[in-house]
A and B are shown apart, each in its own frame.
Chain A
Amino acid sequence: MANPSQSVAAAQAREVQAHQHANVNYLNVDKSIKSWIYTLDHKRIGVMYGVTLAVTFLIGGILAMLVRTELLTPGPTIFFSPDGGLSAETYNRVFSMHGIIMVFLFLVPSVPAFLGNIILPMQLGAKDVAFPKINLASYYIFLLGGVFTVVALIVGKVDTGWTFYTPYSTSAAASNGVLFMTLAIFIAGFSSIFTGLNFIVTIHKMRAPGLTWNRLPLFVWSMYAVSLVQVLATPVLGVTVMLLFFERLLHIGIFDPALGGDPILFQHFFWFYSHPAVYIMILPAFGIISELVATFSRQRIFGYRAVALSSVAIALLGFMVWGHHMFVSGQSVLSSVSFSLITYLIGIPSGIKVFNWIATMYKGSVWLQTPMLYAIMFLFLFTIGGLTGVMVAVLAVDVHLTDTYYVVGHFHYVMVGGQVIAIFGGLHYWWPKITGKLYKESVGKIAAAIIFVGFNFTFFPQLVMGAHGMPRRYADYLPEYQMWHDISTIGAYVLAIGFFLAAGNLLASLFRGMQSPANPWGAATLEWTHSTSPALPHNFLRTPIVTRGPYDFHLAHDIFEEGDGAGDGTAEAVAADKGTGPDSPPPPGNVGQPIGKPPARPEK
């Protein structure tokens, strides 16, 4: 091996692998409650976010199941009013809570605050994010915002939908819970801003030696794009909800038409944030999928630079299309036309990504482990979601489709089929890094299959009934739509079973799972090659030196001189493996390394 710095990297990697059996990691370095509450470790903060977000996802999911159950039959199914009729009030509150919790308390913070927090500094070869204290503070700010939201939703009876359109949201008919809700979003927004700010600085200033922009893992690139959007868009959300707050409290007359204000102005303000926000909710998924596709195809990402820059292009274009939510709102025809045109353009960089991921598999070594199944599922579902997005961007067609279930179908395909599926893929992929455990591969695959089937049964019928005119946010509907609603509801139950099975499988591994080797997948990014699983307290023993691209599997001697990854979570697979089973004594200097190929040194 000629290149000396490469052998340095390899030597460092070996040193880390040796450390795996010393078994000091960020989880067990200090086990007191206090050490968690005051922790400045980005990994622990990430884990705290993860637990909190699992709770909000669960709550949002239960609310979704209530929505779906009520829609099983026209008329009342489970939401009865005192006189035995349908309680539209309950329905409206439940779907509003579902949307608000899912968007603001789950999907927006999901990847950056949770997986991003844990993984991003490690992929950069840094010991932590640039501002650990702000990182911790943003967690508590988020928690505070979450508590406010729950209070607003339960005590305050918010029933405005997640879009808070004026003048309904400022009218007496909507409740004063809107005041609480706007405060909650204002607070949670700060958390989002701080996370974004922290990441931008971290990416700019904390990269390990040798880690040039062209060598950044694509997850980092997408986190960079997301952070830009968070920092640029969230303040506008802040000022929007602030104006809404004062409109309701003091009737400042900015949005209220009765006082000379303009409700359309509110929609412009709202979507100026919320459209970029939908890219906050998908760009992270792009990053995760890039990692998964590359690692499980053992191949460099096809068109790395195009994939990296398309994230930034999407983030920036995303600021110029907000008006596509308002084609029938009464905005001028000229605005509608320009917004429509720019909206289409976003399809181009998205397409570049999809095609490049697919091309990455070409001549690869495609390893269909659970995370890769999720990645493939993502490609299916996101493509449907994106193409239906293009459909609603067609001016004349959107006139018919807007505010119907077609739009509901579109955004669940991108948000659930895109981001949530990617989160599950990423969660399975980094689970050993976070917890040090291997989950059961077989159960993971079955759960993924159930999710895939359930998902399509839930949301495809929504596209069809929407095109047939079924309006959204309807507590009650005409009998002719019942067939589609019923398929959707049954699908939703299957989907929920899938999610619970996947989550259960992961949780079960905490108690019964095998100890993971440092790099079970044979991945080539720093968090796998230069740290143990679970990660070291300070991520690395020494600052890593980077000598190659993130997916240069052919150059990754630091992994491959020790063997290919073969982390198959079953006990048999590990036991059958050469000497790294739980009972066999660890060979010296070689413990917990990727199971698979026996540790043969290259002869050269």
Chain B
Amino acid sequence: MATATPQIVDDVHAGPHHPSHLQHHFVSSQQQFEASKLGIWLFLMTEILLFSGLFVAYTVFRTWYPESFDAASATLDASLGGLNTIVLLASSFTVALSIHMAQRDNQRAVFINLVITVILGAAFMVIKGIEYTAKFEGGAYPGGFFDPHGHHYGHLANVPYAAQFFSVYFLMTGLHGVHVLVGMGIITWMAIRTHRGEFSSSYYTPIEITGLYWHLVDIIWIFLFPLLYLI
């Protein structure tokens, strides 16, 4: 019986057909790609769960103190928020374009689209900064530091639990902002790697998963915007 020669499924060390991007512990590019894809989806799920805690806090307090939340929410600038929504949607579009271009091996277009995305992300943060500054000037700090004054925020001093609204507001938008910053960092890095010519139509997984992450950042904002600014 022992005569059957073992068929070689795969040798441990990279053979001649091993593309450079394929890490040694994967059997094939296909396997590597599927693993990355599953990995990023799981990661996005954990991100949603992270935010979900804040959404629960929001829901609980909104249910308990609806009038306070309405009053406090009314002081937010919905037009700036709306503008930011458009900015982020546009950036999602450019990321999607960059992936599309990567599939067509158009490295220059990939690069340009990534750069535009970063710029849009920056624009988002600047607008957010403007909003934050206005609130700080009006004393609309989170929680214990809440000390509203001035014509825009002054009336909130008599609204109980308005402070909680701003706590939730700053936590949610703050955490989201951190995600935008991280995303901008990663996209910048992707742009650099594209510039170095590391990607091709046969290998652009990093760009693709970065794009997924950026879409998530966008989607979270799509939820934050109406919850905080509109209703």
Contacts and interface: CB of A to CB of B under 8 A. Distances in A.
A12 B2 CA distance: 11
Given A236-B52, A259-B144, A12 B6 contact: yes
Given A8-B4, A231-B42, A252 B167 contact: yes
Contacts of A254: 57, 61, 164, 167-168
B25 A126 contact: yes
13 contacts: A1-B1, A7-B1, A10-B2, A197-B46, A198-B39, A201-B35, A206-B25, A206-B31, A234-B46, A243-B53, A250-B145, A251-B144, A265-B60
B9 A209 contact: yes
A114 B56 CA distance: 34
B45 interface: yes
Nearest to A41: B25
Nearest to B34: A205
A604 B144 CA distance: 83
B27 interface: yes
Contact of A250 (B2, B31, B47, B144): B144
B101 to A, nearest CB: 27
Q: Is the interface of B mostly helix, strand, loop or mixed?
A: helix
B231 interface: no
Given A231-B42, A246-B142, A128 B35 contact: no
B57 A253 contact: no
Nearest to A228: B42
Interface residues of A, number: 58
A136 to B, nearest CB: 13
Given A253-B163, A260-B161, 12 more contacts: A132-B25, A198-B39, A235-B49, A246-B167, A252-B164, A253-B143, A253-B144, A254-B61, A259-B163, A265-B57, A542-B9, A542-B12
B230 interface: no
A364 interface: no
B53 A252 contact: no
A235 B42 CA distance: 12
Interface of B: 1-2, 4-12, 23-27, 31, 34-35, 38-39, 42-43, 45-47, 49-54, 56-57, 60-61, 65, 141-145, 160-161, 163-164, 167-168, 171, 175
A309 interface: no
Given A234-B46, A246-B167, A252-B164, A239 B54 contact: yes
Contacts of A235: 46-47, 49-50, 52-53
B9 to A, nearest CB: 5
B38 A200 contact: yes
Nearest to B171: A246
B42 A200 contact: yes
A299 B49 CA distance: 42
Given A239-B50, A243-B171, A543 B143 contact: no
Nearest to B55: A239
Q: Kindly list the 3 A-B residue pairs having the minimum CB-CB distance in the complex, ordered from nearest.
A: A251-B144, A239-B53, A252-B167
A178 to B, nearest CB: 16
Contacts of A253: 143-144, 161, 163-164, 167
A252 B142 contact: yes
A552 to B, nearest CB: 18
Nearest to B45: A231
A130 interface: yes
A475 B2 CA distance: 69
B51 to A, nearest CB: 8
B129 to A, nearest CB: 19
A266 to B, nearest CB: 10
A541 B31 contact: no
B167 A131 contact: no
A206 B10 CA distance: 13
B30 to A, nearest CB: 10
A512 interface: no
A215 interface: no
Nearest to A232: B49
A11 interface: yes
B144 A197 contact: no
B53 A261 contact: no
Nearest to B13: A538
A364 B141 CA distance: 69
Contacts of A242: 53, 171, 175
Nearest to A11: B6
Nearest to B143: A252
Contacts of B144: 250-253, 259
Contact of B25 (A128, A209, A541): A128
A116 to B, nearest CB: 17
B47 to A, nearest CB: 7
Contact of B7 (A8, A126, A127): A8
Interface in A6-20: 7-8, 10-12, 14-15
Contacts of B38: 200-201, 204-205
A238 B60 CA distance: 19
Contacts of B142: 246, 250, 252
A235 B52 CA distance: 9
A193 interface: yes
A193 B44 CA distance: 12
A254 B54 CA distance: 10
A519 to B, nearest CB: 18
Nearest to A121: B25
Contacts of A205: 31, 34-35, 38
A232 B53 CA distance: 12
Given A235-B47, A250-B145, A260 B160 contact: yes
B39 A201 contact: yes
A479 interface: no
A127 B38 CA distance: 19
A165 interface: no
A474 B23 CA distance: 55
